[in-house]
């Protein structure tokens, strides 16, 4: 199984406020390890490149939407439909995505350990209030080479 694009939790968390450009979608999330030690993913796959994603991967329970934010989003899936990308329907900002179907090998590995995989979110750090990009630890991921390759 390929290495997941996110680090294992350390027990230390950092919490962050984020919103789309127009403010219609607002949310908070916490991640472990904290952002100053988190290898942020910059992927070159078709959608990440086009949306300029800088990604961290909190579990779904650690992402809280503000009241009214869910109604302000639209979603998009493509390819094998395993990831639901969420956008603000007013300003078009790509805020986060939800991994709806993890790879079968990841599910099998977790089940073999008697565990259940948590739902993983991919949060676009560019939505974070007062983000200092120059302080991030960037990990480049070659998603463009993942199968199946996406074509229009």
Domain containing 117 — which CATH number? 2.170.150.70
Decide if 8 is inside a domain. Answer: no
Decide if 37 is inside a domain. Answer: yes
State the total domains in the chain: 1
How far apart CA 7 and CA 3 sit, in angstroms, is 9
Report residue 137 as tokens. 């630890």
Decide if 98 is inside a domain. Answer: yes
pLDDT at 125 over 60: yes
Decide if 38 is inside a domain. Answer: yes
Decide if 4 is inside a domain. Answer: no
Task: Quick: pLDDT tens for 34-71.
Answer: 999 999 999 999 999 999 999 999 999 999 999 999 99
Report residue 39 as tokens. 């290898």
The residue segments making up the domain with residue 41 are: 14-142
Report residue 57 as tokens. 């991967």
* Amino acid 149: pLDDT: 76
Decide if 1 is inside a domain. Answer: no
Confidence of residue 4 (pLDDT cuts 50, 70, 90): low
Decide if 32 is inside a domain. Answer: yes
Decide if 9 is inside a domain. Answer: no
Give this prediction's pTM: 0.88
Pairing of strands 137-141, 63-65: unpaired
Provide the terminal-to-terminal Cα distance of the chain, rounded to the nearest Å.
Answer: 27
CA torsion 100→61→135→142, rounded to 10°?
-20
């Amino acid at each position: 199984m390929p290495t997941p694009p996110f680090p294992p939790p350390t027990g230390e968390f950092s919490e962050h406020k984020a919103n789309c450009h127009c403010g219609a979608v607002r949310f908070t999330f916490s991640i472990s390890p904290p952002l100053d030690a988190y290898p942020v993913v910059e992927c070159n796959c078709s959608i990440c490149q086009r949306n300029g994603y800088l990604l961290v991967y909190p579990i779904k329970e650690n992402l809280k939407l503000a009241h009214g934010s869910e109604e302000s989003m639209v979603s998009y899936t493509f390819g094998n439909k395993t990831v639901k990308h969420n956008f603000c329907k007013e300003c078009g900002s790509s805020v986060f995505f939800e991994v709806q179907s993890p790879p079968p090998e990841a599910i099998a590995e977790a089940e073999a350990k008697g565990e259940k995989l948590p739902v993983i979110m991919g949060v676009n750090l560019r939505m974070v209030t007062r983000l200092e990009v120059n302080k991030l630890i960037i990990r480049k991921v070659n998603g463009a080479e993942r199968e199946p390759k996406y074509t229009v």
